[in-house]
Amino acid sequence: MKISILRRLTPMVLSVLAFSPWCRAQSQVAGDWLGTLKTPGPTLHLALHIVAAKDGSLTATLDSVDQGANGIPVSAISLKDSKLSMTVDAVHGTYEGTVNKEATEIAGTWSQGQSLELNFKRAPAPSAAATAQAPKPGLEGLDDFIAQAMKDWKVPGLALAVIQGDEVILKKGYGYRDAEKQLPVTPNTLFAIGSITKSFTVTTLGMEMDEGKIDWDKPVRDYLPTFKLYEPVLTEQMTIRDLITHRSGLPRHDFIWYTSDFSREDLLRRLQYLEPSKPLRTTFQYNNLMFMTAGYIAGQLNGTSWEDAITQRIFKPLEMTGTNFSELDTQNSADFAQPYRKGSDLKAELKRIPFDAQCPNRCAMGPAGEINSNVEDMSKYLLFHMGKGKAAGKQLFPRTIPCRCKSRRWSFRARLSIRRSGNPVMEWASSSLLTAGTRKWITAGISMASAPSLRSCRRIRSASSS
């Protein structure tokens, strides 16, 4: 009897003895790690947070510090001997690294379309006193920097919001919304936000996708049977994702709408006469008409117009009470920026120009660039996205939508250099190699890069951009 019991106990004891070192090894990598990802562009700084459960299993999240994308879920993480493996489905990336004997460093390779060196060091544990007394990053010198930049670039006025974590730490206007009358810019000054409007269109489509009304990769004709393009294959194969990622194969064709009074429905019918210049999904070609189409579909799925869908799904829940779709509404408000234009020569004088008279109220191209807003409202919109779609404690925008919207085969890098007399004075760069959160920078990059060519467009003109 005793021998029988011992036989049963022996495997159990051996299992515990074998399991304990494994648990200890897993727990050794638990904690916070700081990493640097060496890309062809700027080096990206990452933070890896590993948690070891009582049973020895590991879970983790990843932060892309430079890109402001925090809490990216690590789909799978394992440690075998000294080899650490991770899979991050949200960005289609994998990591293989080696933990040193002291468990203070991890050296390895990040793979996401290409292989890049990614090394981690264990983050120092902050003292309780340091954590309690840690000051917020200062904004000393910001006002002087902005004043000098406005002088250098002859910007009459701008509005700025700075967000740290989930808190707006600065909302401020600089310069004048009306240079002739010396009226100052305030956080409530309305500006045309131009192509940032496109993000509202995609956000609304994302909400509709979560409701089962649409699929990014289903043909456009499934939702808009009258949709017709120049080539039958494009008509049949164009998807919603194609419309909003500028890979339709069509060049801009902006003149069809820029000087016309066509309605949104008129422009949709005329798409069939616009020739593509590239095959579908082969080239990035910025196209406002495709975004207009996407916005029209968003309105149809909502049983309303695009404008009403945006109002119901975004403006009202976020209490963006100052934001509108109309230049007339803007001009009837108490606080709005007058439009100005300056030539490409920095020595050129700034000139006041009139608001566009051709389309003063709810234009056909609205989903591509119609919204007028202010820093007060746009800071709410930014917090909404930084909070992964939450507003007032309610999940309006599904947390998984950004990951589902990101295509495995599309990455984007952007670099903007500002030079004076041939010497660089400011450089801005972005990479989408790591996270879908980079889209914030891509949006900014596109807007900045497009500004010279779009300066005369009616929806873009204003004293400045917020």
Cβ neighbours around 355 below 10 Å, total: 16
For 379, the enclosing helix (H) or strand (E) is helix 375-386
Q: Are 162 and 169 in contact (CB under 8 A)?
A: yes
Residues of the chain with CATH 3.40.710.10: 157-454
Q: What is the pLDDT of residues 287-303, one digit of tens each?
A: 999 999 999 999 999 99
pLDDT at 127: 56
Q: Are 191 and 337 in contact (CB under 8 A)?
A: yes
The answer to whether residue 414 scores a pLDDT higher than 50 is no
The answer to whether residue 234 scores a pLDDT higher than 50 is yes
The answer to whether residue 207 scores a pLDDT higher than 90 is yes
* Mean pLDDT in residue range 100-114: 91
User: Pairing state of beta strands 183-184 and 157-164?
Assistant: unpaired
* Mean pLDDT in residue range 403-419: 39
Query: Is residue 400 very low, low, confident or very high in pLDDT (cuts 50, 70, 90)?
Result: low
Q: What is the pLDDT of residues 21-45, one digit of tens each?
A: 444 456 688 999 999 998 877 788 9
C-alpha distance from residue 272 to each of 104, 223, 250 (Å): 61, 17, 11
CATH no. for 2-122:
2.40.128.120
Residues of the chain with CATH 2.40.128.120: 2-122
pLDDT at 344: 72
- Residue that wins the pLDDT comparison between 4 and 332: 332
pLDDT at 262: 92
The answer to whether residue 422 scores a pLDDT higher than 80 is no
Sheet containing strand 167-178, edge to edge, reads: 157-164, 167-178, 183-184
C-alpha distance from residue 448 to each of 192, 342, 373 (Å): 14, 16, 18
This prediction has a pTM of 0.64
CATH no. for 157-454:
3.40.710.10
Q: What is the pLDDT of residues 58-95, one digit of tens each?
A: 999 998 887 777 788 898 999 988 899 999 987 888 99
Please return the burial class of 93, using the count of CB atoms within 10 Å of its CB with bins 0-12, 13-18 and 19+: buried
Mean pLDDT of the chain: 80
pLDDT at 466: 32
The answer to whether residue 106 scores a pLDDT higher than 90 is yes
Q: Are 367 and 326 in contact (CB under 8 A)?
A: no
C-alpha distance from residue 4 to each of 8, 9, 12, 443 (Å): 6, 9, 13, 71
In eight-state DSSP terms, residue 222 is G
